[in-house]
Amino acid sequence: MRAATFCIVLALAAIDDMHLCSVDISYAFTNEDIDIEIYMKQPEGFVQFGKEYVCKLNKSLYGLKQSARLWSEKLTKVLLEIGFKKTYSDASLFIFDRDGIKIILPVFVDDITLASRSEEALDKFVAELATHFKLRDLGPTKFLLGVEIGCNRAERQLTLCQHQYIVNKLEEYGMASCTPVGTLMVPGLKLSKEDCPTTPEEKAEMENIPYISTIGSLMYLATMTWPDIAYTVGVLARFNSNPGKPHWQAVKHLFRYLKGTLDMKLVYSPDPALGKELFWTYSDADFGGDKDRGKSTTGYMVILERGAVCWSSKLQSIVTTSATEAEYVAGLAAGKEICWVQNILTELSYHPAKPSKLYIDNQSALSVTKNPEHHGRMKHLDISFYWL
């Protein structure tokens, strides 16, 4: 399941005042019969002595390469039998929409979340699912995929944060007592490969620094609930193979920023003032911001009513020759995401009455979008970029 799918479902739950609950399937990977002939050693403590017997597997087992696929197929089969439909936009998202009852069901391996305006329908479904699998009913959803979920039904508001996750990471990396800062990076800082260690002594000094693991932790935050750090994390991740002291100092600066913004949250709630416009998108790009390769960075964010549900900051695959070109390429990436959001909302029975707007802050890029014949300095672009 995409993080964007996760956010969209929660945003819709806030907009439509849905109940949220979660269940956990026990021993999920052992629920399906094995699809090929596999043998294993006798497990320790259950050895039958004499001949060198082996065990033939009848059920899927944790550790097998096909276990995840078999579990996914088993769960999908059961959900389809109950009356759910699998969405094309995300294979881990299911929808039940019948007789005035709608249940949205995102799945992450063995963690299942349900969203519906009918609490009775949710209880009925959980009871039905319990006839197929051994499960734990976790009740109202308060924690999912490492994200703390706050619910204020009176104000029809859902909040997402990772306060405790950040606190834990600050302690893990020895920064629990660091001084907070108000910026993501030191103003004017331009990191490059020139800052990477070159001598054996410099490389040895960096060996014991947990650079890659910190970047992994920061990427998780940037993916799930912290869109504002996505660009900085993307820049820092470019040096994973050979980080230097300036890169590590920038990582610590970002953690200091996170400490100062611990209580910030993503907020989802309906906005009656929007009328028929359900979501809109902003896109932007720097120009040649990557010092080492001269590439630009694409950034976009999709807003569903009042909250961000999709965002990205990614180095462009080509070297652009102007700010207009960089902005146009960024708009293309945003346009593709808009189509995906439109598709997933349609599959969930939400049909925006108006086309979704894409805001680009470059007049030349807008001109090319509206009038493709005004190609000028962009005539060298691959034809695929003219999709926008």
> What are the C-alpha distances in Å from 130 to residues 24, 76, 103, 137?
11, 15, 17, 9
Looking at the structure, tell me whether residues 283 and 305 fall in a common domain: yes
∠ Cα 72 97 149 (to 5°): 65
Domain for residue 153, yes or no? no
Domain for residue 46, yes or no? no
Q: What is the pTM assigned to this prediction?
A: 0.88
Looking at the structure, tell me whether residues 134 and 7 fall in a common domain: yes
- pLDDT class for 382, splitting at 50, 70, 90? low
pLDDT at 51 over 80: no
Which domain-ending residue is among 147, 174, 189?
Answer: 147
Cβ–Cβ < 8 Å for 64, 38: yes
Domain for residue 47, yes or no? no
pLDDT attached to residue 275:
63
Which domain-ending residue is among 96, 117, 147?
Answer: 147
pLDDT attached to residue 318:
87
Token readout for 180 is 């907070």
Looking at the structure, tell me whether residues 226 and 202 fall in a common domain: yes
Looking at the structure, tell me whether residues 236 and 123 fall in a common domain: no
Token readout for 362 is 């470059």
**What contacts 333, CB < 8 A, 6 or more positions away?**
283, 298, 300, 312, 314
Nearest to 265 by CA among 7, 93, 87, 26: 7
Q: How does pLDDT run across 336-376, given as a tens digit for each residue?
A: 999 999 999 999 998 877 788 889 886 666 666 666 655 55
Looking at the structure, tell me whether residues 169 and 60 fall in a common domain: no
Sheet containing 93-98, strands listed edge to edge, beginning at the edge strand earlier in sequence:
85-86, 93-98, 101-108, 111-116, 19-25, 135-140
pLDDT at 274 over 90: no
Average pLDDT of the chain is: 88
- pLDDT class for 272, splitting at 50, 70, 90? confident
Looking at the structure, tell me whether residues 12 and 139 fall in a common domain: yes
Residue found under tokens 């054996």: 200
What are the E-state strand segments in the chain? 19-25, 39-41, 54-56, 85-86, 93-98, 101-108, 111-116, 135-140, 143-144, 147-152, 157-161, 266-268, 279-285, 297-304, 307-315, 357-360
Measure the CA–CA gap between 87 and 91, rounded to whole angstroms: 6
Domain for residue 152, yes or no? no
Residue found under tokens 């001269």: 294
pLDDT at 161 over 80: yes
Looking at the structure, tell me whether residues 11 and 123 fall in a common domain: yes
Query: Count of residues for the chain?
Result: 388
Domain for residue 104, yes or no? yes
Residue found under tokens 């346009």: 335
* Count of structural domains within the chain: 3
Measure the CA–CA gap between 141 and 85, rounded to whole angstroms: 22
pLDDT attached to residue 386:
61
- Characterize the bridge pairing of strands 111-116 and 19-25: antiparallel
- pLDDT class for 98, splitting at 50, 70, 90? confident
SS3 of residue 117 by DSSP: coil
Looking at the structure, tell me whether residues 207 and 324 fall in a common domain: no
Looking at the structure, tell me whether residues 347 and 300 fall in a common domain: yes
Instruction: Read off the amino acid at residue 289.
Output: G
CATH number of 326's domain: 3.30.420
> What are the C-alpha distances in Å from 142 to residues 23, 66, 112, 265, 361?
12, 31, 13, 14, 38
Domain for residue 242, yes or no? yes
Residue 290 lies in domain: 273-387
**What contacts 346, CB < 8 A, 6 or more positions away?**
none
Looking at the structure, tell me whether residues 193 and 66 fall in a common domain: no
Domain for residue 51, yes or no? no
Looking at the structure, tell me whether residues 211 and 325 fall in a common domain: no
Dihedral sign of CA atoms 183, 187, 191, 196 in order: negative
Measure the CA–CA gap between 73 and 355, rounded to whole angstroms: 36
Looking at the structure, tell me whether residues 65 and 17 fall in a common domain: yes
pLDDT attached to residue 215:
96
Beta bridge partners of 33: 59
Which domain-ending residue is among 238, 260, 282?
Answer: 260
Domain for residue 266, yes or no? no
Residue found under tokens 């007789």: 99
CATH number of 76's domain: 3.30.310
∠ Cα 37 39 41 (to 5°): 175
DSSP codes, 30-53: GSSB-SS--EEEPPTT----SS--
pLDDT attached to residue 202:
86
Q: How does pLDDT run across 276-325, given as a tens digit for each residue?
A: 678 999 999 998 888 889 999 999 999 998 899 999 999 998 888 888 88
Measure the CA–CA gap between 185 and 319, rounded to whole angstroms: 24
